[in-house]
């Protein structure tokens, strides 16, 4: 039988409050509970909330929006090939045929 242990007391913050998070790249604002400290405030729907400014959020991140930038990998591959070209084995025409081995005159 498993013994259940109680959660430790006094380690979780008690001061959760509603806070407005604003994505500065597209001015999207969402409100959620947080303990983050801030001195700035914003009024949303007639209510004043503490404000946390974000550079990127779910409304502007390429993973969530599906607007990922395409990376030019062709240029990188060409640069890599040129850099390591000196280590490439030189390809020549077909391998020359080996001359037949002549038996020594002592064995005859």
> Is residue 105 very low, low, confident or very high in pLDDT (cuts 50, 70, 90)?
low
Name the band, by pLDDT with cuts 50, 70 and 90, for residue 79: confident
Percent of the chain with pLDDT over 90: 30
Q: Which two tokens stand for residue 64?
A: 């969530």
Cα angle 64-25-35, degrees, rounded to a multiple of 5: 80
**Predicted pLDDT of residue 106:** 55
DSSP three-state, residue 64: helix
At 9-55, the pLDDT tens digits run: 888 888 899 999 999 888 889 999 999 999 999 999 999 999 999 88
Average pLDDT over residues 68-79: 64
């Amino acid at each position: 039988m498993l013994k259940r242990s109680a959660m430790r007391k006094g380690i979780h913050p008690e001061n959760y409050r509603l806070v407005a998070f604003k994505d500065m790249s597209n001015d999207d604002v969402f409100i959620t509970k947080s303990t983050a400290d801030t001195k700035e405030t914003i009024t949303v729907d007639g209510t004043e909330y503490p404000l946390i400014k974000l550079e990127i959020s779910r409304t502007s991140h390429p993973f969530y929006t599906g607007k990922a930038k395409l990376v030019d990998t062709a240029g990188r591959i060409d640069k890599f090939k040129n850099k390591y070209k000196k280590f490439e084995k030189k390809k020549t025409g077909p391998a020359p045929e080996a001359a037949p081995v002549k038996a020594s005159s002592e064995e005859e």
